[in-house]
Structures are given as C-alpha cells and as structure tokens.
Structure 1
Amino acid sequence: MQLVLEFLALPFVQDVLKILFILLLFAMPLGTFMTLMERKWSAAVQDRIGPNRANIGSYRGRGLLHIAADALKSIFKEDLIPKGADKFLYTIAPFFSFMSAVAVFAIIPIAGPIGDFKFQVTDVQPGLLFIFAITSLGVYGAVLAGASSNSKFALFGGTRASAQMISYEVFLGLSLMGLFMVYGSTQVSAIVEGQGEHWFGLIPKWGVFTQPLGFVVFFTALIAETKRAPFDAPEGESEIVAGYFVEYSGMRWSSFMLAEYIAIVGVAALITTLFFGGYQVPWLYHWESAPQWLVTLLQFSKFATFTFIFCWFQIQIRWTVPKFRFDQTMALGWKKLLPVALLNTVVTAIIIVALA
C-alpha cells in the first residue's frame, strides 16, 4: 500500500491522473452530451420532439441512447478517401482540430488546490499566451482538410476558415490585454485568485465586472473561432455544402464534430475561468472552518455550473441568431470589435495609471 501511495505521489503520475480526470471525466463526457443537448434544444426552439427513437427494449432514456447509437454508426461507416486527395494531410487534419480543442483544458483550474495537489494539468506563467497559441492551432485542421480533399467546396471552406480564425485571433488577444493589466499576470491561476477578492466585502472582482468590454469582445471572438452559427461561413451549408470537411466520413468526420462540441465546452470553461471567477465561489471566506473536501466540492460545482450555462448559451445563439455573410463576419471583426478592443485597452491603462 505504501508503494502505491508513493507511486501516486510522483509528479508525472499526478499529471497523468489530472489529464485523465479533466479529459475523460469532464471535457469528453460534457462535449459528447452537448451533441444530444443541441438536438434537444433545437427541437424545443422549433417546436419538435427531438431524438427519442433509439431504445433498448422499451427503454429510451429520453434520447440518451442516441449518443451511443451515433458513436456506433460512425465506427462502422465506411471511411473513404477521395480520389486525388493527399492521404497523409487528409488523415492528420482531424487530429489538429481535436487536439487544439482538448489542449485548452490543460491550463484551466477546475477547483482550488488541496495541499500541494492542484486540479490543473499545468500552471505555466504565460497562461494567456498559451491560450492564444492553442486556439491558433485549430486553423490548421480546417486548412489541411480543405487543401487535401481535392474538392473546390472543401478548399473554399478551408480558405474561409483561415481568414476568419486568423482575423479573430487578433481581437481575442486584444480583449485579454485589459485583463492582464488589471490582475497583473498572464498566469491563469493568478487571474483566478485575483477574482476571489471583493469590493466592499460584497461584489466579487470578477473579470466581467472589471472588463465588461473585454468580455464582450472575448466572447464574440471565441464564438467565431468555433466556426459555429452565426459565424459558420467556413461550413456554409447553403453555399459550399459543408465546407472544409465535406469529403469526410466515418470516424474522421466524427472527430471534427466531436472537436467542435469539445470546443464549445472549452469556450465555456475559458469564459468562466477568466471572467466569472473560475472556481472562486463568492463570499466563500465565511466558510474558513469548513472541511477542505466540502470547499473543493463547492468550487468544482460552481465551475461546472457556469461552464454548463455558457455551453447552453452558445447553443441558444446557434439556433436564434441569423447567420452572417462572410463579408459581414469580417466587417464585424475589423470595423467593430477591433476599435472596441483597442479602446478598452487604452481606457484600462489610463484608469490603472490614474488610480496608481
């Protein structure tokens, strides 16, 4: 037993356990559940019943079995490679999209530390820069898929994706400059700790209160980065069929779709972490005498609740906001979000200098 405890105490083993916990018990299950949640919510918006036919005997589970049915269907579908396609690039393109969606969770703390153990895979100093780097990798999946499929529709989709994602990364970075100045660090854990403080012992110092304009720009830019409606020009079902992954089938196609839904969870988790206190529960300082396990459970529950709320909000946007044309998408970014982000950065700097 002692050897087991010593083995589990090794830093490498703890990192592996964190990855397995966050990926297999949080990101993947919630991302998979989002597929059913979107189908159910779209049915509610359109006054339909939604998926409810998959069953085991008389048990239907209110549509839950459709998740397993979709997975089995994808596994057993024929996986085709188009004639004239670049097989290597065509094969690795889904990997880039999937890994960029998953890697974001490495720097997100989902609860406060217990002793020396942190509920965070890695706590790098330039955490915000890590976010920019990882989100920028997602464009490679779309570009490689579009360029390697030997299809003009896929190529158009990949070109749109590269223009849109690279453009909105500019606004994404500028939106966080104010956050960096307010909390004085690019380390994600330090930003979360800073949001645990209160004004007048009552109002939490969440990023959404200190940086409201930054929050609007950040949220809009992240929605555009996921390439979902109303920013779904790279997929453009009414124009270019399905965009950059039009030629994909089977598990490769499922990898793109699962990456999209994991990205939804990642967006929600980032918004919760950077602008809504992360795992910090307001007024929790009154619980100093509470057991540590109870405090940690409350912190994780708060983080998971806010993450789920923002997942639902993204789905609500998907089914209620009309789609933008591609020129409207680019104009919104360069003509509206860029000036707002620059203004927010300048005003934040002036206020900080004045207060100092």
Structure 2
Amino acid sequence: MKPNKNISLYWKCQLLGWSLAGLFWAFSAWMQVQNTPQHRGFSFQLALLHFILDIVIGIAVTHAYYLFAHKLNWVGLKLKSMPAKLILAVFVMGLVYMFLVIIKLYVLRNYFSYSFNETFLGFFAQNYLIVLASGIRLMAIWVLAFHLYHYAVMEIDTAKKYARLEVVAREAQLQQLAAQLNPHFFFNSLNSVKALISTNPVKARRAIDLLSDLLRNSLYRQNTDLISLHDEMSLVNDYLELEKIRFEERLQFTITIDEFPDTCSILPLSVQTLAENAIKHGIALQKDGGRIIIAIKRQEGCIRISVQSPGRLNSTVETNGLGLKNLKERLQLQYSNKASLNLTELPGDSVLSTITIPLS
C-alpha cells in the first residue's frame, strides 16, 4: 500500500498562515528601509533568513501547543471552561515566542551588522515589551482559531450523531410497525381462504396461489421503507382478486392511476391497508356488497391516494383499528408530518379514505 502523501488541513493552514505573516513582515521591513533617508539598501539574504526563521518559530510554538492540547484533551473544552485555560496558554506561548524572536533578532543583527555591539540583556530590555505584545496578539489569534475550529467540528459531530440516532430510532419503529402489520394482513387473508375450502375447493386453490404471491412479495420487501407505486398496486390487485373470490359479485372494484415516474415510491401496504379497511368495514357489512373505487392522482406536488367504499364511518372501530393506526404512525415517521391520512363520510352512505404524501 502506498503511503498517503496528502498534506493535512492543519499543516496547510500552518504553512500558509505563517508564510503570509512572514511575507507581511518582510514587506513592512522593505517599506521601512525605502522610507529611511540615506538607507544602505535592503538585504534580500537577511530578509529570506528572517522569513524562514519566522515560519519555523511560529510553527514550533503553535505546534507545541497543538500537541499539548491533544494530550490533555483541551480540544474538547466546553465554552465555559475555555477563558481561564486559554488566557494562561496564550500568555505562556507569547513568552516563549518573545524569547525565540529576540534570540533570532540578536543573532542575525550580531552576525550581519559589524557595528552592532550591544549585550543580549541590553537588547532584550530594549525590545521585549514590543515583541511580547506582538507574540501575545499572534498566539491569541492562533489559539482562538484553533479552538473555534475544533468546537465547530465537535458540534457538527454531535449533530450528526443525534441525526443518526434519530434515523436508527425511526427505522426501528418502522420495522416494528411492519412486523405488527404483516401478520395482521395475512391472518385476515388466511381467514378468506378458510371460508372457501369447504364451499369451493377450486377457488380455494386459486386463493392459495394468490396468497402465496402476496406472502412472497411481502417477504422480499419486508426490510424496505418504501416500494414503487407499481409494486404496491400489483399487491393491491392480488389482494382484491383474492377477496373477490370470497365475496364473488358482492365485491366490485375500480382502479384509476395517473401517470407517475417509475421511481415514484410509497409506503409498503399503504393502499392495501385502505383496501382491506374498505372491505372489512364496508363490503363485508353490506348485504348486497358494493364497489370499491381506488384513485391515485398527482395533486400540487403530492400523491393523493383515495379509496371510496360503501358504508358509514364508525370512529370508534374503523378509525382506531390496528391497520389504520399503524398506517398513521408509519406515515408520520416516514414523512416527518408532511403526509396525512383522513377518513370522511360522504352523502349516499359511503366512506372516503385519503392519503396525501409528498411526491418524491
């Protein structure tokens, strides 16, 4: 495996930041020399040495703090803990920076200027306040930027963790709801087959074939949050055909669907739940049966799924059953309160169930 030769963001910022600072100081020195009467000229060799040593000193002091902060886990400091510790750190870094810069200045002046004969202590006493103030200012800027960056990263990581926990919790709830709904659906279907076995074995065999298809489709899709509209309607067709075998002429149904993209997806068993509810609380309670009308339409950026069936709305039974209660919770979880499920009693003894979801 080849070693990773990419420079980290930290070192890019270090090199770029201190290089820009060094260039600024070199330019300031050049301007000062140009504005000095009878100047002896600007030494580019000396300026290059200052530039290199300024970068080395700046990186040495700040990287020492970088190592120190990571060792003591100061990168995870809370806001209320920062001021006291960081003020002390900035002052210490400023002192170290001051000593290194004054040593650099003294050595270079002593080497490049033959007329320079000042003692180190005298030179130090003359310059330490200016260099210390400059060092504290620089270190304060660096430390503030360093900790603000890490604080921002920490906040982003925390937000990501909470978001991930919410997603995991939502997926767990959806799986739990699906686990409740599948047995409920198949127990009802098995009861339909059971009713046919003694009266019409031929239709019972056909019903078993349809039920096996329904079971196969459900098992293959049990871990998916969404399925295509086409697949859901295929399941609904099989379910209604299965129920028509039981109810015969008492059950009629009509399905109309607007054109939707192939990628259009909805909740599994959502339309089927409304169809099952219409049969259980509508067709099964009507002596002459009736017609179920399923319409899926595009409406203002949403998918509107409606199932109309004969009967009257019984709020204590029909709207609080396991199927609809389960469906409401799944819609709320999947679409974050952007979907709705409504049941309305219409004139002429019919009930309209409507799901409205965003068009993905």
- TM normalised by structure 2 equals 0.22
Larger radius of gyration: 2
Pick 1 or 2: higher relative contact order, CA cutoff 8 A, min separation 6.
Answer: 1
Higher strand content, 1 or 2:
2
Output the TM-score relative to the length of structure 1. Answer: 0.23
